[in-house]
Structure 1
């Protein structure tokens, strides 16, 4: 049988997004744009255009532009959206991003939905040419953090509070899009939500099954799919959601024009009742069992589905246009490249199989602050993104060069992409292996072009080798006998033999500080 022809469809697009959260912890608002300085740099938008971005998730947030019942302040939005229009960048405008609205409202306020709808109408009237909106980013995730875990305002910790906040945000989305479409009938809803999967021991399979059903609620509710036969209809009713409130979504469905999947390495979880294997801070539970909820990627027994599997689940469930709307990893530049490359590959594989998947979004273009504490502590802990703000002006990182290459050529290209990420290596495990059953297969390294380090006998050469090992970089550490940098013919012979993608000359340096000065 002849091989089937490969798909000739163009690759998915690359979009961009800026970490833009304005969330409330107690009486304090945390604004990512204040931390990053983006409010003061109009030319950030030019930087995004220079790396080839033509679609950008961009915030015009309620808390910033209409913090009280007075007139909105459009100065920032006017300047930024005008510049995006000049640059030919299509904005997907966000109105609430992990926030609870201005001080006069909150997520469990009966007036939250009407308040956001009013603000959405003002935005649409000010910028009638905008055709893509995300009224509320990640409603379910925000409801979990604010209503179930108590991390964000109003800091409740109950299933009932979670349900109320989720319903309020979904109703706000429906009403906001209705108001926007009165001004711009072509306006599209780009609905984002974090998506993972819950894994567990046999004992806790019931809890994992529940969470794996709950993860779809944002899209099910907005799409008018949560009816009386839905597995969670009764659950929401028992939590105090009136039948009329659920019927509202059946009578006013607002299915996303594009489903936005936000996925992180921590999105897949593992539930385990064997508390002795884990540190105390990870202990939790439900009314029936005490257990640990931890990143699945850290547990030997877990078998994470990964980006391709989760995107495929989404496509098979909804069959609606979709995109990956957040891709970010707070780690070394090599691991950031590998993670973006893996998600990019997964999206294009799914597209080649017939799924309508439009784009992969480089999130946190300017990096992010304090997400290591889930924004509960304002320490300005910084994770670089596509640009690094720890220089005099935003500096393009390796990700910026990768994205520029994709925008121009349609494929990612960098030697480090051929190496497995830390999440595919055994060093990722932080708990002991309980048995050989169910162990996730470790991705084996495919022989790739190495990095050559000259100076095996020196302090600097050995330091480079240690760094390469930590970062998963395939390398050869050569001594003078193996490669004498003063012997051009030997140098050429070694290069021809090993075909390195880069050569680092660390020969002759015993003092690392001296190498830095040289």
Structure 2
């Protein structure tokens, strides 16, 4: 009798006792997320942008425009219905922080209580493209101090929250406000851009300090746009070379990563002092830091030899571009935003993004989560909120009537297939600790 015969005689022909604990009949990672600390974080988000336009006269509030203030219970219920355990959620900073030491928590308390009741883990987004009217705009040098007060108040109000995005898309915030002239101060020059950028990064750092003081095991998921311009020229222009370096600038300052010489000179030429630069380079913010990369096909552009610029729809894709960011900062990664505006194309875009995530995981890069952004359709994002057209962008898992779009079913299918995978293979051994963040080393 051969060895297999002896095994069959003593133990049978498979389904051996004990195999359910990670052996041949162990779990394959399928099934809806069960809330385990090692679960890969599948998420959605509720669009909450609130920049001003028209010289500060008009407030674009997507929570209002998309009906969330009136339907927050229904929206949070949809997250639960999908089988998701994680929600990127932005409190309306402009409505809560009424002045120094003054806060209105009425809506925030209702929404946060419902999120907690439904057993959903929020990634709390504290500044999303705008500031309260009384703060002014991103040229205000008091912003880091004023925002730090707000962060402290939020952490004290909701001590059960652990995950935060202090400032959403810092680079986009500064660029659209002070370089592209779309929002808030609506300026169009390099000096104003550098001013907005340094104030916003400093606000994120000081806000994180206040959060960590009150929640020393906090996890910061920094959501930043992953971008690139492909210039189709034999000799790339200095302008585009600089643009492709400036996209790193917010994270360079946030993570104390020295920019290349050309970018450092650009900063110093446009108003950053040596003392300010040294302050940013002194060290990283506290807490466990995760680098979230937002990727839309329109993030990649092609510039032709005649100067025309076109959206290119994933020439490199999230994987290749995020790999650049990962190699630069060596931070755990999360895919923090994606969508397309065409509802019929959305399911395939979802699968393409997921394949990018899977490839990143196979390469050994720690990817903590994936987010379809957003839960419901948005308004006027085809013009970057710069025009009041009241045009619905069909990019949500649900439309504005809260009816599912095809991508909702695709996301449910993805969750059923992969919902219980761990952040890294055998990640059960590496549960997210509740100990305070302490050690930061590159070794």
- TM interval, short-chain normalised: 0.7 to 0.9
Alignment match of 1:104 (pick from 118, 135, 153): 135
Partner of 1:122: 153
CA contact (8 A) 2:135 2:143 kept: no
Equivalent residues in 2 for 1:400-415, closer than 5 Å:
400-410=408-418
For 1:10 and 1:247, the matched residues in 2 are separated by 46
Matches within 5 A, 1:479-490: none
Within 5 Å, give how 1:103-182 maps onto structure 2.
Answer: 103-182=134-213
CA deviations 1:378-416 (Å, max 9, x no partner) are: 22111233444354xx111221112222222218xxxxx
Match of 2:44?
A: 16
User: Partner residue of 1:384?
Assistant: 394
Retained in 2: the 8 A contact 1:16–1:365? yes
Instruction: Give me the whole-angstrom Cα distance separating, in 2, the residues matched to 1:390 and 1:78.
Output: 24
- Alpha carbons 2:224, 2:292 under 8 Å: kept: yes
What is residue 368 of structure 2 aligned with on the other side?
358
Matched with 1:292 is 308
Partner of 2:379: 369
Name the TM-score, length of structure 2 as normaliser: 0.81
1:319-339, CA deviations, whole angstroms, 9 ceiling, x for partnerless residues?
211111001100032x10111
Shift of 1:294: 2.7
- Secondary structure of the structure 2 residue equivalent to 1:97: coil
Q: Deviations over 1:244-270 (max 9, x none)?
A: 111111224227711111111111122
- Are 1:36 and 1:389, in contact at CA under 8 Å, matched by a contact in 2? no
Aligned partner of 1:34 among 55, 61, 64: 64
Q: 1:15, 1:173 → 2: CA distance?
A: 23
- Which of 253, 258, 261 aligns to 2:284? It is 253
Candidates 350, 355, 364, aligned match of 1:340: 350
Alpha-carbon distance in structure 1 between the residues aligned to 2:136 and 2:149: 13
Specify every segment of 5 or more residues in structure 2 that has no aligned partner in the other structure, as ranges: 1-26, 31-39, 420-443
Q: How many residues align?
A: 379
Aligned residues of 2:378 and 2:396 also touching (Cα < 8 A): no
Q: Which runs of 5+ in 1 are unaligned?
A: 1-7, 275-290, 298-302, 412-518
1:81 aligns with 2:92: no
- Please name the residue that 1:269 is paired with: 301
Report if aligned partners of 1:68, 1:102 keep a CA contact under 8 Å in 2. no
Q: Taking structure 1 as reference, are residues 10 and 160 closer, same or farther at Cα in structure 2, changes over 3 Å only?
A: farther
Matched with 1:414 is: none
Structure with more relative contact order (C-alpha pairs < 8 Å, separation 6 or more): 2
Q: Which of 378, 382, 404 matches 1:396? A: 404
- Given the alignment, which residue of 239, 257, 273 partners 1:225? 257
Is the Cα contact below 8 Å between 1:14 and 1:403 reproduced in 2? Answer: no
CA contact (8 A) 2:66 2:400 kept: no
- 2:276 and 2:132 map into 1 onto residues whose CA distance is 21
Note the C-alpha offset of 1:272: 3.0
TM-score, with structure 1 as normaliser: 0.70
Cα pair distance change 1:390/1:121, threshold 3 Å:
closer
- Cα deviations across residues 74-102 of structure 1 (Å, max 9, x unaligned)? 11111111221122211111111111443
Q: Mark the structure with the bigger radius of gyration.
A: 1
3-state SS of the aligned residue for 2:292?
Answer: strand
Q: 1:208 to 1:190 in 2, by over 3 A?
A: same
| CA distance in 2 between partners of 1:18 and 1:230 (Å) | 39
Following TM superposition, the consecutive aligned residue runs of length 4 or more in structure 1 with deviations greater than 4 angstroms are: 8-12
Measure the CA separation in 1 of the matches of 2:303 and 2:131: 29
